[in-house]
Chains A and B, each alone.
Chain A
Amino acid sequence: MAAPGHGTSNNIGDKIIEHVANSDVMIHFELFGVDLSITKHVIMLWIAAGFLVTAGLYATRRYRKEDRPVPSGFSNAFEYVVDFVRTGILIPTVGKNHVLKWGPLVMSFFFLILTMNFLGLMPFFNYINHGHGGTTATGNINVTAALALITFMAIIVAGILEHGFFKHWKNLVPGGLPKAVYIILIPIEILSMFVRPFALTMRLAANMTAGHIAMLAIFAPIFLLHNAYVGVASVALNVGITFLEIIVSIVQAYVFTLLSSVFIGQSIHPHH
């Protein structure tokens, strides 16, 4: 943090950005000329994935053995969320018949993003010193862009699997319109094809980063003013914002998953 007396607003701004950005390279690692260095966000990805896989395998251990298991305890809670994704996101968008095909992808989106969002809320990674930062992996546009690119590919694959290669591209624009309309429509549809994953990328990354920036900005007056009352007010406010961030974490995981599922569903059932 800024040292007393040197706390200019510019300085604080830099500090805040440093806190929400990825860390410096922790372990340098290169493969076939591609820089695959390990940073805090990579480690957070792994922690989230490791935790999710462990929890998921533990919760579903009975589901692999029995046809109609009766869930209890943790399995029950896990099943509630899975069923929420199934009935709240999958069935209305991709349709009941495609749930088994697209369910794993959509559920992996939801659970992995949710786990990473929650992991980012834990004020722990700031203390691992390899450069500050590394607040939330999903606050990094590289992570969200990679996820959105998977959605982008899934949209195309879903359409091709359902309608064949050429029919899928034809489905992008509605048929039976005057030719002049197509001059406008085709570029718009192509643009929208790329805008969708871009919007997914920015929405998730910006939302996950914004909360952290807000919290750090609320903490900043403590270091600028050196006043105990300000400290009490800042902490009280930030406790409230932490609760808000819990909601934002769930909502953003839901929104990313829902939109991905909606796009995949539109590709399977073109409403033109």
Chain B
Amino acid sequence: MENLLRFDTGLMIWTWITFIAVLVILGTKAWKPMIKALENRENFIRESLEEAEEARKEADKVAGEYEAMVAKARQEAQNIVASGKETAERMKADILNEAQDKSAGILKQAEVQIVAERDKAIAEIRTQIVDISMAAAEKIIAKSLTLEDNERLIEDALKDYGKN
């Protein structure tokens, strides 16, 4: 048993030397670089996550803005279409009204013209009938009649004509 609890200064000193050698070599060459790398990685991951979160928020914001913009544009387009339709309807109605007015005017004018032409034709026919009658009467009666007879005969003839 005394073997196990024997005090051994040499072994203690060797333990210190060995431990300090390990501490110095690995402390500077292994533990510190590795701890730093782990901290760097942790920071990098945290920053990346924060950045990703930030980017997501930004993207959400932009998407929201974009959606609002699209909705606004759609509304505007609808307004434009609606007002276009209204204008078109109004124009259609105007054009129809105008066309109807115009056609009515043309018809009326045509009627007036027809009446005028008819009257003119009637007047012409009357003049020609008088002339023809005169010529015919002249031929039939020749110079047997006096001026007074002529005038009377004409008057009679005209009266008859007027009756007809």
User: Is there an interface contact between B14 and A36, defined as CB atoms closer than 8 Å?
Assistant: yes
Of all chain B residues, the one with the shortest Cβ separation from A87 is: B38
A25 to B155, CA, bound (A): 184
Assess whether B25 is in contact with A53, with CB atoms less than 8 Å apart. Answer: yes
Complex Cα distance A109/B1, Å?
A: 27
CA distance A63 to B34 in the complex (A): 6
- Mask, B25-44, CB within 8 Å of A = 1, is 11111111111111111001
Q: Do B19 and A112 touch across chains, with their CB atoms under 8 A apart?
A: yes
Stretch at the interface among B5-13, B94-102, B128-136: B5-13
Cβ of A65 to closest chain B Cβ, rounded Å: 9
- Residues of chain A lying within 8 A (CB to CB) of residue B103: none
Number of residue pairs spanning A and B whose beta carbons lie under 8 angstroms apart: 138
Contacts A36-B13, A86-B35, A108-B23 given: A45-B18 contact, CB under 8 Å? yes
Best-surrounded residue of B25, B28, B34 (most CB of chain A within 10 A): B34
Complex partner residue of A42 from B14, B32, B37, B44, CB under 8 angstroms: B14
Give the chain B neighbours of A83 by CB distance below 8 A. 38
Residue A103, interface by CB 8 Å:
yes
Any chain A CB within 8 A of the CB of B140? no
Pick out which of these stretches binds chain B: A139-147, A169-177, A223-231.
Answer: A139-147
- Which residues of chain A in 17-34 are interfacial with respect to chain B, using CB atoms and an 8 Å cutoff? 17-18, 20-22, 34
Cross-interface CB contact of B29 among A37, A60, A66, cutoff 8 Å: A60
- Complex: how many Å from CA A59 to CA B29? 10
| A193 contacts partner chain B, Cβ-Cβ < 8 Å | no
Chain B: minimal CB distance from A126 (Å):
15
**Chain B residue with the shortest CB-CB distance to A53:** B25
B21 at the interface (CB under 8 A from A): yes
Q: Is A250 an interface residue (CB 8 A)?
A: no
Question: How far is A107 from B25 in the complex, measured between Cα atoms in Å?
Answer: 12
Q: Which 3 A-B pairs have the closest CB atoms?
A: A104-B27, A146-B15, A21-B3
Footprint of A on B, CB under 8 Å?
A: 1, 3-16, 18-19, 21-23, 25-41, 44
